[in-house]
Amino acid sequence: MTSALDFQYRDGGLHFPQLGLWMDPHHPVRTGEWVVVSHAHADHTARHSAVILTEPTRRLMRSRISGNRTERVLEFGEPLLHSDLTPSPTQTPFRLSLHPAGHVLGSAMARLEVDGDSLLYTGDFKLREGRSSERCEPVEARTLIMETTYGRPRYVFPPTEEVLASVVQFCKASLDAGTTPVLIAYSLGKGQEILASLLTANLPIQLHASSARMTEIYADLGYQFPRWRPLDPQTARGHIIITPTARPLLSAQPSIGPLRIASLSGWALDRRWPTTDENQQRFALSDHADFQDLVRFVKQVRPQRVFTLHGFAADFARYLRRQGMEAFALSEDDQLELSL
């Protein structure tokens, strides 16, 4: 038995052929169908011709991907009907709404309703509250398609406030010792999270150009940060440096002086996680849900069936089956067609 909510999983994204909708495909969609972009990280965006997204994601995506496209911006919780789209991708009535995912600013989960049936696609998400993103708001759905990057029980993150306090202390101790602290963090999301944690520290800060561009958009949308300057290796000595990569700094180290490098990632819990320096400090700060939050999220959505994506998808699906749930991992093969 087929349903209008039947989907195909391919190229990292979801395709709903009967609805003319995609969610987070890696390849550009320029077929007249519409694409839901959950957030503006590079692995969830492409040069699509028509997109549905939140206003922060629209702003951030525009700064990263040039070109013309049709954009339909939704507020969180605002209903969108198939007939509201021009052109409409289908004659099958559906209702779509976006809900805060808590991953980065503007990140959204997508809920689809067709003929009394419902499906929730999370994209990347986290339940822990952050300083630079909206709070996640789970909604109930019959079918749940969820990101499971940290889908093994050993991935349980320490409290965020404790991690951020440790990072600030690392920066202060480095500066007191005459070394320059370098924080390795994604330019979108994690960079702003750690920058916001330095708001009251009254310390000098320089930002990599890519981090600065994202931070300016955050600030324009109402988020508060401490004063910072663009990264300049000639004047970086004595500043906290927030950057997605340390490579340019290593080549400029004679002018900067000694560096103390720290990486901010949930993979810091994994001893096998590679770093450029065995003495590099690691802080377990992530913008994804840990294992406990994945379990809690499923309980809040109350689905009848679950499909898992990315990371330890098979492990988490197996865990859910052991709890008596109907759960399946979506393959990374070219295409998987599923009837709901």
Q: What is the pLDDT of residues 36-75, one digit of tens each?
A: 999 999 888 999 999 999 999 999 999 999 888 999 999 9
Identity of the residue numbered 202? N
User: What CATH number should be reported for the domain holding residue 126?
Assistant: 3.60.15.10
Is 1 part of any domain? no
Please, how many CA atoms are within 13 Å of residue 39, restricted to the half-sphere of its CB?
24
- Do residues 269 and 326 share a domain? no
Is 103 part of any domain? yes
Is 190 part of any domain? yes
Is 22 part of any domain? yes
**pLDDT reported for residue 76:** 98
- Do residues 13 and 143 share a domain? yes
Number of domains in the chain: 2
- Do residues 207 and 91 share a domain? no
User: What CATH number should be reported for the domain holding residue 264?
Assistant: 3.40.50.10890
Q: Give the contacts of 176 (CB within 8 A, at least 6 positions apart).
A: none
Rounded Cα gap, residues 204 and 229, in angstroms: 8
- Do residues 142 and 40 share a domain? yes
- Do residues 215 and 260 share a domain? yes
Nearest to 110 by CA among 62, 61, 59, 147: 147
167-172, Cβ contacts within 8 angstroms, sequence gap of 24 or more: 167/194, 167/197, 167/262, 167/264, 167/283, 167/285, 168/197, 168/198, 168/201, 170/260, 170/262, 170/281, 170/283, 171/198, 171/201, 171/203, 171/240, 172/201, 172/203
Asked if residue 16 lies in contact with residue 33, where contact means CB atoms within 8 angstroms, the answer is: no
What residues make up the domain containing 333?
Answer: 7-154+288-338
Is 234 part of any domain? yes
Nearest to 93 by CA among 102, 84, 101: 84
Asked if residue 48 lies in contact with residue 37, where contact means CB atoms within 8 angstroms, the answer is: yes
Identity of the residue numbered 191? G
Q: 46: exposed, middle or buried (C-beta count within 10 Å: 0-12, 13-18, 19+)?
A: buried
- Do residues 236 and 172 share a domain? yes
- Do residues 38 and 98 share a domain? yes
Q: 148: exposed, middle or buried (C-beta count within 10 Å: 0-12, 13-18, 19+)?
A: buried
Phi, psi (rounded to 5 degrees) for 256: -85, -35
Is 2 part of any domain? no
Q: Give the contacts of 217 (CB within 8 A, at least 6 positions apart).
A: 56, 59, 60, 63
- Do residues 296 and 320 share a domain? yes
Is 67 part of any domain? yes
Is 136 part of any domain? yes
Extract the residue ranges of the chain whose pLDDT is less than 70: 1-2, 251-254, 272-279, 331-340
Rounded Cα gap, residues 245 and 211, in angstroms: 11
Domain termination residue (choose one: 263, 283, 303): 283
Q: Which helix (H) or strand (E) holds 293?
A: helix 291-301
- Do residues 84 and 193 share a domain? no
- Do residues 252 and 297 share a domain? no
Look up tokens 């963090």; give the residue. 185
Rounded Cα gap, residues 319 and 152, in angstroms: 9
- Do residues 136 and 35 share a domain? yes
Q: Give the contacts of 143 (CB within 8 A, at least 6 positions apart).
A: 5, 117, 118, 119, 120, 303, 304, 305, 306, 307, 340
Q: What is the pLDDT of residues 104-121, one digit of tens each?
A: 999 999 999 999 999 999
Residue 56 is classified by DSSP as H
**Helix (H), strand (E), coil (C) string for 159-224:** CHHHHHHHHHHHHHHHHHCCCEEEEECCCCCHHHHHHHHCCCCCCCEEECHHHHHHHHHHHHCCCC
- Do residues 52 and 144 share a domain? yes
